């Protein structure tokens, strides 16, 4: 057992000296990055094809008029909008030429809420942030913390978008907006993180967090932020105000030299 281990250690050592180990690690890194890139590209191409195949019609009629008026009021350029089936959640798709896909089953009221949500994503450049987070995942494909940070960043963008859409709504409108999120989950799986699309809804605990934030109007999040700041301040005070202080024991040679303000020892002073 010891001989194979020692042989492996010697091999690693020799590889470090002659440059084989760094080359091998670099090849592994490049293969992993290429694999992740290929996977992301495959997922996005398949999703775009499914949207193109399921495209029914472009936005028209009263919905188009309301959508155009909303864009003019918020000083944002209207994007192409298409009804698509099947589609679980409204989503802003693409980076260079983005467009919005709406579920065909959405009611006119739900469609207005979905359009407001996705256009807030567009105003915040969330489609570009999504591309940046995926690039970070490709570069740091081996680091699970980067993947976790990318997922948390996506969640933060959705929470911020929900807050922008619902900040002027009353309680009943907030409930209807939360109901739109919940109903979208019951249709089919929503777009995942590897896709260059801002799916309006999420599943599981993330959806519960978003619905809670919508119904509470951000009060819960603000309360948690205040509580965290207070706890952090208290811990900071405790860390600096409760430091142990002890006078040096007499006769202890380890404390024989102490420096005064001029850099001299007490004995020299």
3-state SS assignment for residue 265: strand
In order along its 269 residues, the chain shows pLDDT tens digits of 566 656 656 565 655 666 677 788 889 999 999 999 999 999 999 999 999 999 999 999 999 999 999 999 999 999 999 999 888 788 899 898 999 999 888 888 889 988 999 999 999 999 999 999 999 999 999 999 999 999 888 888 888 888 888 887 788 888 888 777 777 665 555 556 677 777 666 555 666 666 666 666 555 555 555 665 677 677 667 666 654 555 555 444 444 444 444 445 444 44
pLDDT at 102: 92
Contact assessment for residue 105 and residue 111, using Cβ atoms and an 8 Å cutoff:
no
pLDDT at 269: 44
pLDDT at 8: 56
pLDDT at 69: 95
Contact assessment for residue 146 and residue 137, using Cβ atoms and an 8 Å cutoff:
yes
pLDDT at 213: 67
Q: Give the single-character DSSP code of 245.
A: -
Contact assessment for residue 110 and residue 90, using Cβ atoms and an 8 Å cutoff:
no
Q: How far apart are CA 260 and CA 265, in angstroms?
A: 6
Residue corresponding to tokens 């019951």:
186
Strands (E), the chain: 55-58, 81-84, 91-93, 99-103, 197-199
Token pair listed for 32 = 């992993």
pLDDT at 180: 75
Contact assessment for residue 100 and residue 145, using Cβ atoms and an 8 Å cutoff:
no
């Amino acid at each position: 057992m010891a001989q194979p281990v020692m042989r492996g250690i010697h091999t690693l050592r020799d590889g470090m000296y002659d440059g084989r180990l760094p080359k091998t690690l670099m090849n592994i890194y490049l293969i992993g990055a290429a694999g992740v890139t290929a996977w992301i590209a495959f997922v996005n191409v398949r999703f775009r094809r499914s949207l193109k195949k399921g495209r029914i019609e472009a936005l028209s009629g009263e919905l188009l008029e309301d959508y155009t008026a909303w864009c003019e009021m918020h000083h944002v350029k209207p994007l192409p909008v298409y009804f698509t089936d099947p589609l679980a959640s409204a989503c802003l798709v693409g980076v260079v030429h983005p467009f919005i896909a709406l579920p065909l089953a959405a009611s006119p009221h739900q469609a207005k809420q979905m359009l407001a949500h996705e256009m807030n994503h567009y105003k915040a450049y969330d489609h570009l942030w999504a591309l940046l987070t995926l690039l970070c995942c490709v570069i740091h494909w081996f680091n699970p913390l980067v993947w976790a940070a990318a997922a948390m960043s996506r969640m933060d963008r959705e929470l911020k978008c929900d807050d922008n859409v619902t900040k002027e709504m009353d309680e009943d409108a907030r409930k209807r907006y939360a109901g739109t999120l919940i109903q979208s989950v019951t249709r089919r799986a929503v777009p995942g993180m590897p896709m260059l699309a801002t799916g309006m809804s999420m599943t599981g605990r993330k959806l519960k967090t978003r619905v809670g934030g919508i119904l509470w109007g951000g009060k819960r999040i603000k309360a948690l932020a205040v509580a965290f700041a207070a706890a952090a301040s208290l811990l900071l005070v405790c860390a600096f105000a409760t430091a142990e202080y002890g006078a040096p024991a007499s006769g202890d040679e380890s404390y024989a030299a102490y420096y005064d303000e001029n850099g001299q020892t007490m004995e020299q002073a």
